[in-house]
Amino acid sequence: MFTKIFIDNFLGISEPIKLDFISQSRNKDTLNSVIKIEEGIYINKLIGIIGGNASGKTSILRAINMIGQLLVSPIIQFDINDKMDSIKELLEKDNNFDDRKKIMEMLDSINAGTDITVQNLRRKNEDTKLEIEMYIVAETKELTGYYTYKIFFNGISKKIKNEYLGFRKKYREKPTPIIAIEDAKEGQVYYINRYFKNITDIDVDRKNELEEKYNYCKTFVEHYIKNSAFIDTSEDYNYKELKYIDWFKKSPDSLRTLVRVVDPKIKDVMIDTDSKYEELVFILKDGSKITRNMLSTGTERFLNLIRYVNEIIDKNGVLAVDEIEQNLHKDLVELILRLFSEMPNQNAQIIFTTLSPEIFDIVDQNNKKIFKQDTIFIIDCESDNIQVNKLINLQIDGNRVKGDASVSNLYKHKKISCHPDREQMDLFLNNFKNNLNDF
């Protein structure tokens, strides 16, 4: 579970922002939406970030994803635009075998690495700083605890300025450094995790020291990568990785139920074995059959998300979703969020962005709001610099927000978050009406 995220000078984020997920709510022992880690320390399972278009919501989740890329791949040491220009030149020619081979090699070099040219344009020549902290339940007790990962890098020089991985058992303890490097072309956490087992020419003492580092690096990387997922707003994101056939074989009734929830026209689901490859077929109430690629966009995205939800909850991981409400009915979003909130004794966590304040007014079966004010992060982008505040810490019209306040009402009355500029909208509308032929 994430306990903290810090971002500075990354994509749309020009000034430092910090998100803290340690619960501040009262009566935490009675809340389903928090998990107790140790005495006095509770972590929120549900994290919602609301802001208008171009407010920086996606930049926050992409920072999380960027760290994941740096943990499993080397930094690209060439200019991608130059490489793409070379590929374009080769494609415009009558390609021979050698040219096609060069194209594939160049594409492989791009896909195999991580591009770190992501500084905010206002501070293009300065370092980007990313920091996350996670509580990880490992297979062994000695590796279970809080992992702090910091990486400062510069996309112009394509170098890591600082990389740090620290570990502590208790929240209030001082972290013990596992990795601490400066001025490197490649991350040491990535290198140790990937190549430790190939290292042979090293003395025993050094090997034992390196193995200890490897165990912490491996635990951190595996949880961050294998037990977590980042879902962006692309319609086809990761669809090819979802094993729907395996899902159906393992639990056919659960898939049937879910499909009927999102599309009541579907009567049944089956596997078609007549074709060369097994294929999932959805049977409609009128008897007709459709394949998965014929499902509606909303049905497809819901199944995509639910598949990840199932895996993440099972692994006690983290699911990060950009604009969770996209193509989904509010009740389906509610189902996804309540799965995280109401699973007892699970460390699974969801971090999502949204444009819809109504999500934060969802209630459970006891008519209690599932979102506490310390789980709702409001992006303020009225000024040139993005600011992120917890709802619990905001003062509106000189007063603290009441615990049972309707977030959608606060948004509707322009008390929180970014809104489209009404004057600019009216100006555009008038220009459009008066100068239709110019558009």
Rounded distance between C-alpha atoms, residue 345 and residue 303, angstroms? 25
Q: What is the DSSP letter of 36?
A: E
Residue 164, SS3 per DSSP: strand
- E strand or H helix at 49: strand 46-50
Instruction: Give the per-residue pLDDT at 156.
Output: 92
Among residues 310, 295, 361, the alpha carbon closest in space to that of 340 is found at: 310
Rounded distance between C-alpha atoms, residue 372 and residue 31, angstroms? 9
Token digits of residue 97:
């075998």
Strand partners, 153: 128, 160
Instruction: Give the per-residue pLDDT at 381.
Output: 67
Supply the DSSP string of 258-307, one letter for each residue: HHHHH-TTEEEEEEE-SSSS-EEEEEETTS-EEEGGGS-HHHHHHHHHHH
- Residue ranges in the chain whose pLDDT is less than 50: 235, 237-241
Residue 167, SS3 per DSSP: strand
Instruction: Give the per-residue pLDDT at 237.
Output: 47
Among residues 341, 376, 340, 374, the alpha carbon closest in space to that of 356 is found at: 376
Rounded distance between C-alpha atoms, residue 386 and residue 14, angstroms? 7
Q: Do the Cβ atoms of 267 and 283 come closer than 8 Å?
A: yes
* 154 Rama class: left (phi>0) / alpha (psi -120 to 50) / beta: beta
Q: Do the Cβ atoms of 1 and 145 come closer than 8 Å?
A: no
Characterize the bridge pairing of strands 128-136 and 145-154.
antiparallel
Q: Do the Cβ atoms of 325 and 370 come closer than 8 Å?
A: no
- What values do phi and psi take at 378, rounded to 5? -105, 125
Instruction: Give the per-residue pLDDT at 238.
Output: 45
Rounded distance between C-alpha atoms, residue 71 and residue 92, angstroms? 36
Supply the DSSP string of 110-149, one letter for each residue: HHTSB------GGGTTSPEEEEEEEEE--SSGGG-EEEEE
Instruction: Give the per-residue pLDDT at 207.
Output: 80
Q: Which amino acid is at 16?
A: P
Q: Which domains does the chain have, with CATH numbers?
A: 1-76+113-227+317-439 (3.40.50), 80-111 (no CATH), 237-315 (no CATH)
Characterize the bridge pairing of strands 41-44 and 34-38.
antiparallel
Rounded distance between C-alpha atoms, residue 289 and residue 283, angstroms? 5
